[in-house]
Chains A and B, each alone.
Chain A
Amino acid sequence: MAALRQPARWRAWEIAAWVAIWATPLVFTQHAALINEIAILALFALSLDLILGYAGIVSLGHAAFFGLGAYGAGLFAKHVMPDPLVGLVVGTVLGAVLGALTSPMIVRGTDLTRLMVTMGVALVLYELANKFDGLTGGADGLQGVVMGPLLGQFEFDLSARVASFYSLTVLFLVFLLIRVVVHSPLGMSVQALRDNRLRLAAMGHSVNARLSVVYTVAAAIAGAAGALLAQTTGFASLDVFDFHRSADVMLALIIGGAGWLWGGLIGAIAFKVMHDLLSAMTPQYWTFWIGLFLVLLMLVGRERLFRPTRWFSKTP
Chain B
Amino acid sequence: MLTLLFDGVAYGMLLFVLSLGLAVTMGLMNFINLAHGAFAMAGGYILVLLMQRQGWPFLAVLPVAFLLTAVFGALLESTIYRPMYAKPHLDQVLFSIGLTFMAVATVDYFMGSSPQNITLPEWLRVRFELGSGALSIGMGAYRLFIIAVCVVLALVLQAVLTRTRFGSRLRAAVDDPRVAAGLGIPVNRVFLLTFATGSGLAGLGGAIGADLFGLDPGFPLKYMVYFLIVCAVGGTSSIFGPLVAALVLGIADVMGKYYVPKLGAFIVYLLMIVILLWRPQGLFSRGGAK
Contacts and interface: CB of A to CB of B under 8 A. Distances in A.
Contacts, number: 130
A144 interface: no
A302 interface: yes
A29 B200 CA distance: 54
A123 B265 contact: yes
A122 B237 CA distance: 27
B228 A116 contact: yes
Contacts of A116: 228-229, 232, 272, 276
Residue among B87, B99, B228, B273 with max Cβ neighbours from chain A (10 Å): B273
A288 B95 contact: no
Contacts of B80: 295, 299
A297 B109 CA distance: 23
A311 interface: no
Contacts of A243: 221, 225
Interface in A282-304: 284-288, 290-295, 297-299, 301-302
A82 B200 CA distance: 56
A284 B108 CA distance: 9
B108 A110 contact: no
Contacts of A124: 266, 269-270, 273
Contact of B93 (A60, A131, A291, A293): A60
Interface in B16-32: 26, 32
B262 A131 contact: yes
Interface string A229-270: 000000000000001100100110010000000000000000
A16 to B, nearest CB: 31
Nearest to B274: A120
B32 A298 contact: no
Contacts of B277: 105, 117
A28 B32 CA distance: 42
Given A288-B109, A295-B98, A299-B80, A127 B265 contact: yes
Interface in B219-268: 221, 225, 228-229, 231-232, 262-266
Interface of B: 26, 32, 80, 83-84, 87, 89-95, 97-106, 108-109, 113, 221, 225, 228-229, 231-232, 262-266, 269-270, 272-273, 276-277, 280-281, 290
B225 A52 contact: no
Q: Which 4 pairs across A and B sit closest by C-beta, in order of nearness?
A: A294-B98, A291-B101, A109-B280, A288-B105
Nearest to A298: B95
Helix, strand, loop or mixed for chain A's interface? Answer: helix
B276 A298 contact: no
A285 B266 contact: no
Contacts of A294: 94-95, 97-98, 101
A117 B278 CA distance: 12
9 contacts: A110-B281, A110-B290, A131-B266, A287-B101, A291-B100, A294-B98, A298-B91, A298-B94, A299-B80
A63 interface: no
Contacts of A111: 32, 89
Given A112-B26, A123-B265, A131-B264, A291 B98 contact: yes
A116 B268 CA distance: 12
B98 A58 contact: no
B98 A115 contact: no
Nearest to B87: A298
A291 B102 contact: yes
Given A109-B281, A295-B99, 11 more contacts: A110-B280, A110-B281, A112-B26, A115-B32, A117-B273, A247-B97, A284-B109, A291-B99, A291-B104, A292-B102, A297-B98
Interface in A49-71: 52, 58, 60
Residue among A112, A243, A244 with max Cβ neighbours from chain B (10 Å): A112
A127 B264 contact: yes
